[in-house]
Amino acid sequence: MPHLDAGHNLARWLTRDASDAEDVVQDACLRALKYIDAVHGGEARAWFLTVVRHAFYDWCRRNRPAEIVDDEGHALELAVDEHAVDPEQAALRRSESRALADAVAELPLAFREVLILREFEDLSYKEIARIANIPVGTVMSRLARARSMLQRSPLLAPVRGETQGGRQ
Amino acid sequence: MNCREAQTLLSAHADGELDVLRSHALGKHLRGCAECAAAFESMLALRRRVDAEVPRRPSCRRAFARQWAPRSPLSPPGRA
């Protein structure tokens, strides 16, 4: 299956679990094999990532319906809840890189998926819009907010040299 | 362009996704605004860190190969 690694990377970051990611990619492969002859050249990767994304959302509706948050504002509130984690505790067990990876994994789903498609798959905003079935302007705003959330993530507070409740 | 508008465009500018007019206007603003220029540098630094430090998830290709490998009794183990 072409682009299996890209599909697995997306599924892994969306599900945040190795076993669940394999379930999603396996389902996506079964779906993709039915139509693979109709896909050509450069479209193939974006097409397969679209299939993986659909397989993930179907899986998510069955297994984690609460994670599908349509209201971006609500998702943003969840993301910047500074009481959700204890930065000092986090600092004890995370290296800087691990903290950054965890911060990416903690992003709300709608923001995480556009960030993964951009940063790891190096897709254009237009390609991401097609995969996620959203307008290009929404890709732009979600990426901006995803990065803003990362910069303000409480998980990165120890890395920035901040203590809980304020800067040093 | 004011700072509020500039801040909303920094991420897309870092990705090279702004059209020529907005890119030009934002570049002009950044040359005259130290605060927004610092925010842009911070955005670029974040992108570099994500690129360098956040791991791509390991492939499941090997696990899939095992699971989906043909299991014909005519194919002896260890041979293609």
Contact A140 B17 (CB under 8 A): yes
Mean pLDDT of A36-41: 69
pLDDT at A115 > cutoff 80: yes
Q: Compare A118 and A40 and report the one with higher pLDDT.
A: A118
Per domain, the residue ranges of chain B are 3-54
Number of H helices, E strands in chain B: 4, 0
CATH 3.30.460.10 fits A72-167, yes or no: no
pLDDT of residue A125: 95
Q: What is the pLDDT of residue B16?
A: 92
A25 touches chain B (CB under 8 A): yes
The position carrying tokens 């609460």 is: A66
Contacts of A124 in chain B (CB under 8 A): 17
* CA nearest to A72, candidates A154, A138, A153, A156: A138
**Is the minimum CB–CB distance between B54 and chain A shorter than 8 Å?**
yes
When the pLDDT of each residue in chain A is averaged and rounded to a whole number, the result is 79
Beta-carbon contacts of A39 under 8 Å, excluding residues fewer than 6 positions away, are A47, A48
pLDDT at B44: 92
CA distance B14 to chain A (A): 10
pTM score: 0.72
A 88-117 residues with CB below 8 A of B?
96-97, 100-101, 104, 115
CA distances from B34 to B9, B16, B40 (A): 16, 21, 10
Per residue in A83-94, pLDDT tens? Answer: 455 666 555 555
Reported as a pLDDT band with limits 50, 70 and 90, residue B67 is low
CB contact under 8 A, A100 and B53: yes
Tens digits of residue pLDDT in B41-51? 999 988 888 88
**Alpha-helix residue ranges (DSSP H) falling in A1-135:** 4-15, 18-35, 43-63, 72-79, 87-93, 96-106, 109-119, 125-132
Report yes or no: A88 and A163 within 8 Å, Cβ to Cβ.
Answer: yes
Provide the 3-class DSSP secondary structure of residue A50.
helix
Q: Does A8 touch chain B (CB under 8 A)?
A: yes
Q: Which of A135, A59, A19, A40 is CA-nearest to residue B63?
A: A19
Query: Residue ranges per domain, chain A?
Result: 4-67, 72-167
